A and B are shown apart, each in its own frame.
Chain A
Amino acid sequence: MLDQFLLGLSVVMQPHVLMYAFFGVFLGQLIGVLPGVGAITAISLLLPVTFYLDATTSMILLAGIYYGSQFGGSIASILLNLPGTPSSVVTCLEGYPLAQSNRAGLALFVAAFSSFIGGMVGVTILVLAAIPMTVIALKFGAPEYAMLVILGLLAASMIGTGSQIRSFAMVVLGIGLGLVGADATTGYYRFVAMPELADGISLVSLAMGLFGVSEVIRNASNRPAANTPTLSIRMRDVIPTRVQAKSLAFPIVRGSGIGSFFGALPGTGAAIASFMAYAMEKRFSRSPEKFGKGHLPGLAAPESANNAASQTGFIPTLSLGVPGDAVMALIIGALILNGIIPGPRLMVDQPELFWGVIASFFVGNIILLMINIPLIKLWVLLLRIPYQKLYPMIVIMICVGVYSHRTSVTDVLLTLAFGILGYLMKNYRFEPAPVLLGFVLGPLLEDNFRRTMLLYGGDFTIFLTRPISAVLVAGSVFLIAFAIWSSISTSRITKRSIV
C-alpha cells in the first residue's frame, strides 16, 4: 500500500502536475465562495480543457475543483450567511452568528482547520479502507438506505433552536417541497404547475433563497445602512485558545468519521453528511442550548464531515467505476473522453493514475490549508464593505450562480420567492435548516422505502431480517428511547455516559 502511495506521490510531485493540482484547488476554492456556483458548473466549463491534458492531470485538476469548492463553501456561509455549496448550509448555523459577534476570523480558522483534518481523514480512509468500504457500500440496498434516513431524521430532529413543533412543521414543509416533480416510482407528476418544475425544485435555489436572499431582505429592512462593525483582525483573535481547541478535538473526529462513512455510500454525499454531523453534535452535546448562537463544535463537526465526505466520495467512483453523484459522473466523463474506461480494473490497469489522483488529494488539502490561513484577513475585510454596496452585489451573484446551475430562469425566480418565504419565516421564528433537511432526506426515504416494498413484495419484516438494516432500526429505537428517557429524567450529567 505504502509503495503504491509513494508511486502516486512521485506522480504528483512533477512540477506541471503540482501546478494543475494547485490551480484546481484554488479555482475550486474561489468557486466555492461564490454563492450558488457549484463544482458542477465549474467542472463542466473546464471539461473541454481536459482534451489537452493527459488523463491523470485532468483528474487531478477536476477533483481539485471539487474538494476545493467544499473547502471554499464555508467562507460565504460564515461571513454572509450564504451557503456557497449545499453542503455548507449547516456551516451557516454556527458560523454566521460567530461572524456577527465579531469573531469571523476565528470561525474561518476553525472551519479551515476542521476541513483540513476532515479531508485528511477522508483520504486516509480512501487509501487504507477503499476495498472494505466498497464491500459495505454494496451491502447497502434499498432497505438499509430507508432505515439510515429514518435514523438520520430522528437524530436531526433536534437541529432547530426553537420549539420542537415549529421545527417539525418545517421538516414537513421541506418534505412537501421535495415532492415536487416526477414521482421516482411511477413517474407520476406531483405539483408540477409548469413544465420547468418537472425535475423538481433545485436544492441550490432553496438553500440560496431561504438563507441568502432572506438575510439580504432582513438586513435591508432592519439595519441602519452605516452599521459596519469595526473589525479586529489580529492573528491572536483568529487562532482558537487552548480551551477552545480542546473542545474541538472530538467534534472534528466524529465529524470526520460521519463524513467518511456517508461519502462512501453512493448517492448520499457531503450535504447529508454535514447535516448528520451537526445533528449528532447537538444531540450528544452537554450544552445543546449553545447551538445556533455561534458554538464552535457545531461549526467544526459539519465542516470536517463535508470535506471527509468529498474525499471518500471517490471510493465508489474509483473502485467500482460507479459515480456517486453528478460531479463524479462528470469526472468519470472526463476519463472516458481521455480514452480511459473507469471501472473495477482502474487500480490495476492504471496504477499511476489511480494513486496519483489519491496522492494529489493529500497534497491538495495541504495547499488548501496554506492558502486559506493567510487569506482569512482578506476575507474578513469583506465585512467592511458597506451593506448598501455589498448586498446588491450578493443578490446579483446569487442570481448568476443559481442560473448557471441548471440554466433555468424559473430557478432564479424561485430563489427570490424562497427568499421572501425565508424572510417571513424568520419574522415568525421558524428555522430554515429543518426545511432543507426534510427536502434532502424526504425524497431519499420515500424512494428507498417504496423500492424496498417493490423489491420484497410489501414485506415489512425485511427491515429486521437484513443485518445492517436491523442495526439501523435498533439505533432508531435507541434514539427514541433516549429522547423519552432524557425528557423524563431532568437532564443531569447522564448524557455524558452515552457518548
Chain B
Amino acid sequence: MFRKLLTALPLAAALAMPAAAQDFPDRALRIVHGFGAGGNADTVSRIMAEEMSKTFGQPVVVESRPGAGGTVASGYVSKEDPDGYTMQLMVGGHAVAAALYSSLPYESVDGFTFISTLGQFPFMVAARSGEYESIGALIEAAKASPGSIKIGHSGVGSTQHLTGELLALRTGAEFLHIPYKGGAAASTALMGGEVDVVIDTGTVIRPQAEAGVYDILAITSGERWPDAPDLPTVSETVAEGFDVVSWTGIGMPAGVPDDIAATIRGAVHDALAAPAVNDMIASLGAKPSPSSGEDMTALIEGQIAVWTDVISTAGIEKR
C-alpha cells in the first residue's frame, strides 16, 4: 500500500503540473515598463494589457517605473518572482544598456525569460531634400573631408547615436555626431541647417520626407523594409551586412516555468493578431513581429555584441 502510494506520488505530481498551468492565471497580471506615462512604451503596454486581459479573463495592470533609460525597470523586474504574473515591456534600449553601462543591477540576458518581440522597426538616414543624391554620395563627401558632415542624434547612447557611429565604423567615413534632446530637436536642427544628416525612426523622418523636406537616403535594416520597398538599405549600398533594427518585446524574470511562458507567449501572439494592436504597432512605424523566446534572445545577444563593439571603438563614455 505504502509502496503504491510512493509510485503514485510522482504521477500525481506530473498530473498536477499541467493543472497548475491550466489554472494560470488566477489573479491580476502586470506589465512593467521603464518609461514615462504617455510615451510609446506606455501606449504599447496599455493596448497589449487591454488585449491580454481579454484572453486571460484577468485584469492586466500597467506599471511605469521610469528612470535611467529603462534600467530601473529592468532591475526591478529581474528580481521579481518568476511566477508568470510579472511581465516587462522591453525596448531596444535593453540591449544598448547592456553595452553602455559599466555595471547594471541585473544580468541583461540571463536575468530574464524572453517571451516574444512585439514590433521591429528600422532607422532611416535622412538629409535635407536635394543635398545628397544617395547614401553613396554622402559617404564619399564624408570621406573627402573627414569630420565636416554633422549627424544630429537624439541623445548620447541612444540607438540613433550608436547607429550613426556604426555607420562611420563600417564605411570608414568620419562624421561629427551632435547630441540633441530627442529626435524632434534633432529633426528641427536638420531643417534649420545646423546639422546635415539625421538618423531616426520613421515616425520622425517620414512625414518630413512625404512633404518633400527630407530625402531618405537609406534604411538601416538588413533587408528592404516591406512598408517602404523603394528605399535602399545601407547594407546593399555602402556597408554590406549592416543591419540595425530596434524593437519592442515582452520579457519576464528568469526562471518562469516553460508551460507558463508558453501560455504568455500564446496570449502575446494572439494580442498581436488583434486589429487594434496591429494597427497601433504599425502606426508607430513598426512591423508586428511575433517571435519565439529563442529568437528574441538571439536578437538581444547579437545587438549587445554589436553595441559593445561600437561603444568601445567610438570611445563613448560608459556609465
Interface residues of A (CB under 8 A from B): 40-41, 43-45, 47-48, 137-142, 182-189, 195-196, 198-199, 266-267, 316, 320-324, 326, 329-330, 333, 336-337, 339, 341-345, 404, 406-408, 447, 451, 454-455
Determine the chain B residues whose CB is within 8 A of the CB of A333 once the complex forms: 38, 40, 43
Most buried by B among A185, A330, A339, A341: A341
- Rounded to whole angstroms, the CA-CA distance of A339 and B283 in the bound complex is 7
B4 part of interface (Cβ distance < 8 Å): no
B residues less than 8 Å from A189 (CB atoms): 319
Contact, CB under 8 Å: A320 / B38: no
B179–A40 touching, CB < 8 Å: no
**B93-136 toward A: CB 8 Å interface, digit per residue (1/0)?**
00000001000010000000000000000000000000000000
B283 touches A337 (CB 8 A): yes
Please tell me if B213 contacts chain A, counting CB pairs below 8 Å.
yes
Q: Are A322 and B184 in contact (CB under 8 A)?
A: yes
- Per the 8 Å Cβ criterion, residues 265-319 of B in contact with A are 280, 283-284, 316-317, 319
Q: Give A345 to B206 CA distance when docked, in angstroms.
A: 12
Q: Does B30 contact A (CB under 8 A)?
A: no
A286 to chain B, nearest CB (A): 40
Are B181 and A320 in contact, with the CB atoms below 8 A? no
Chain B window 144-159, contacts with chain A (Cβ cutoff 8 Å), 1 for yes, 0 for no: 0000001000011100
B248 to chain A, nearest CB (A): 15
A199-B67 in contact (CB<8A): yes
A406, B176: Cβ atoms under 8 Å?
no
Q: List 25 A-B contacts (CB under 8 A).
A: A40-B38, A44-B37, A44-B38, A45-B37, A47-B38, A186-B317, A195-B67, A195-B68, A195-B72, A198-B67, A198-B71, A199-B67, A267-B181, A320-B191, A322-B187, A333-B38, A333-B43, A336-B203, A337-B283, A343-B213, A344-B211, A404-B37, A408-B66, A408-B67, A451-B179
- Contact residue among B38, B63, B75 (Cβ-Cβ distance under 8 Å from A195): B75
Pick from B38, B63, B188, B283: contact of A138, CB below 8 A: B188
Chain B residue nearest in CB terms to A407: B64
- Are the CB atoms of A341 and B206 closer together than 8 Å? yes
Q: 0/1 per residue, B174-188, Cβ < 8 Å to A?
A: 001011111011011
- Would you call A142 and B194 a contact (CB within 8 A)? yes
A322 x B319 contact (CB < 8 A): no
**Distance to closest chain A CB from B232 (angstroms):** 22
> Measured between alpha carbons, how far is A197 from B170 in the docked complex, in Å?
35
Q: CB-CB < 8 A to A140: which residues of B?
A: 192
**Can you name the residue of chain A whose Cβ is closest to the Cβ of B180?**
A451
Q: Please name all residues of chain A whose beta carbon is closer than 8 Å to the beta carbon of B46 when the two chains form the complex.
A: 48
Cβ of A41 and Cβ of B157 under 8 Å apart? no
Q: Is the CB of B192 within 8 A of A141?
A: yes
Q: Is the CB of A196 within 8 A of B211?
A: no
The reply to whether A266 and B66 contact each other, CB–CB distance below 8 Å, is: no
Q: CB < 8 Å: which of A196, A316, A447, A455 contacts B181? A: A447
B57 at the interface (CB under 8 A from A): no
Tell me if B68 and A266 are in contact (CB < 8 A): no
| In the complex with contacts A184-B179, A337-B283, A451-B179, A196-B67 CB distance below 8 A | yes
Q: Does B42 sit at the interface, judged by CB under 8 A?
A: yes
Decide if B184 touches A329 in the complex (CB within 8 Å). yes
5 nearest A-B residue pairs (beta carbon): A44-B38, A343-B207, A187-B156, A198-B68, A138-B192
Q: How far is the CA of A337 from the CA of B38 in the complex (A)?
A: 12
B69 interface residue (CB < 8 Å to A): yes
- Least Cβ distance of A271 to chain B in Å? 15
Residue contact A187 to B184, C-beta cutoff 8 Å? no
Q: A266 touches which one: B65, B176, B184 (CB < 8 A)? A: B184
B319 engages A316 (CB within 8 Å): no
What is the CB-to-nearest-CB distance from A193 to chain B, in angstroms, rounded to a whole number?
A: 12
Known interface pairs A195-B72, A343-B207, A407-B37; A455-B66 also in contact (CB < 8 Å): no
Q: Can you name 17 extra interface pairs (CB under 8 A) apart from A198-B68, A333-B43?
A: A44-B38, A45-B37, A182-B156, A183-B156, A186-B317, A195-B72, A198-B67, A266-B184, A266-B185, A266-B188, A321-B207, A329-B184, A339-B283, A341-B206, A343-B210, A344-B207, A455-B178
Q: Provide the bound-state CA to CA distance between A372 and B299, in Å.
A: 56
- Chain B residue with Cβ nearest A195: B68
